[in-house]
Amino acid sequence: MLHLVFAGGGTAGHLMPGIAMAEYLSRAPQKPRITFALTGRNLETRLVAGAGFEHVIIPSRPLPRTATEAIGFISTSFTGYRAAAKFVATEHVSLVIGLGGYGSVPMARAAARRRIPLILLEQNAIPGRATRWLASSASVVCTAFEQVQSHLKPNVFVRVTGNPVRFAQPSVHWQSRFDDESPRVRQLVVLGGSGGSRTLNEQVPRALYKAREAIEGWRILHQSGDRNAAAVRELYQKFGIAATVSTFFDDVPRMLADTDLAISRAGGTTLAELAALAVPAILVPYERATDNHQRLNADVFAAAGAAKLLEPREIDRRLDDRLAETVTELARNTQLRRRMTESMHDFARPLASRSVARTIREVLRSRRLAGVA
């Protein structure tokens, strides 16, 4: 039986494309065995178990920043690699799909050492460290951005497939958001990533208070992450704004299908989901993202007119003031929102899962022909 392993996690941004692909592949007539190799975070295990897939915990750590962290990193990396090597040797793994991030490294290395086919999914415009490190061992790097090729060695094969998302129909009925004959409650969503964003958690409630006249009657949904949910709720209560604050939104398709505007970080998976449902966005990239990849992602969308970009380091005034101005402009200018929605729709890749699945089949076929797998 074909056994596919999706390796990685750490954040929902890395994990969700893997779950999208696993669900797509599970609908095939000859359903493969699918295992997720995770770092052990509660969010990862909950999402994978909720999707109905088996998982194994493979120890891993981010690259160390201090000498003290280096000792733990070396020990954990050795333990993780041994566990991964044992798994691929005993569980008859056919192919490994690396999802990016430090959590993908032990299983991807173990696959490469045993000459098991390896495919990497890269969600961002500039490949992460794990992708750059593993790319030479991979058969293909599947990406959502053409810019990725220029950051990898010339001999690395890159295929622009798009970023798989968990819903097949992109931009369903987005035109109805602008149908004057069907009155509806406008909706604004705040997306700070699976771990939440302290910047958005602190600044958005203040900004929406300043923009309160422009968004009067709008529904506000705010993803806060686990650590700051109570504080975010208190801020909204302080400013007299009715908002639904959640640590994490499970039903993203339904939520975004009804969304008129998002204030969001600029991770590759989040942008793919916004594009799939054609949601115009105000993007506030995470300033400390590795290699500033969120800023580069946001640049692509902003240059196409699909998003407004607010970079905190380049703002000479308070971020909440700029956010309030931008929210007010977009809430009051329906035609501008419509143009941004159309531009965002152009980024949708509804066949991304199919493209990655085709790549998996091609790699497996070529390896069988070569007598390797």
What's the average model confidence in pLDDT over 325-334?
Answer: 96
What 8-state DSSP symbol labels residue 81?
A: H
Whether residue 211 has pLDDT greater than 50: yes
Tell me if residue 271 falls in helix, strand or coil.
Answer: helix
In contact, 215 and 208? CB cutoff 8 Å: yes
- Residue type at 71 in one-letter notation: I
How far is residue 2's CA from residue 25's CA, in Å, rounded to a whole number? Answer: 11
In contact, 110 and 81? CB cutoff 8 Å: yes
Burial grade of 198 (CB within 10 A; 0-12, 13-18, 19 or more): middle
User: What is the third-level CATH fold of 174-346?
Assistant: Rossmann fold (3.40.50)
Question: The domain 3-166+350-369 belongs to what CATH superfamily?
Answer: Glycogen Phosphorylase B; (3.40.50.2000)
Domain ranges for the chain, please list them. 3-166+350-369, 174-346
Tens digits of per-residue pLDDT, 11-54?
788 899 999 999 999 998 889 999 999 998 888 899 999 999 99
CA separation, residue 249 to residues 190, 244, 256, 311, 367 (Å) = 11, 11, 10, 25, 40
Tens digits of per-residue pLDDT, 335-348?
999 999 999 999 99
3-166+350-369 and 174-346: identical CATH topology: yes
Tell me if residue 174 falls in helix, strand or coil.
Answer: helix
User: Does the global pTM surpass 0.85?
Assistant: yes
What 8-state DSSP symbol labels residue 136?
A: G
How far is residue 75's CA from residue 52's CA, in Å, rounded to a whole number? Answer: 32
How far is residue 356's CA from residue 348's CA, in Å, rounded to a whole number? Answer: 15
What's the average model confidence in pLDDT over 103-113?
Answer: 95
- pLDDT bin (cut points 50, 70, 90) of residue 250 is confident
What's the average model confidence in pLDDT over 72-91?
Answer: 90
* Lowest-confidence segment of 106-120, 155-169, 271-285, 357-371 by average pLDDT: 357-371
CA 324 centroid distance within chain: 26
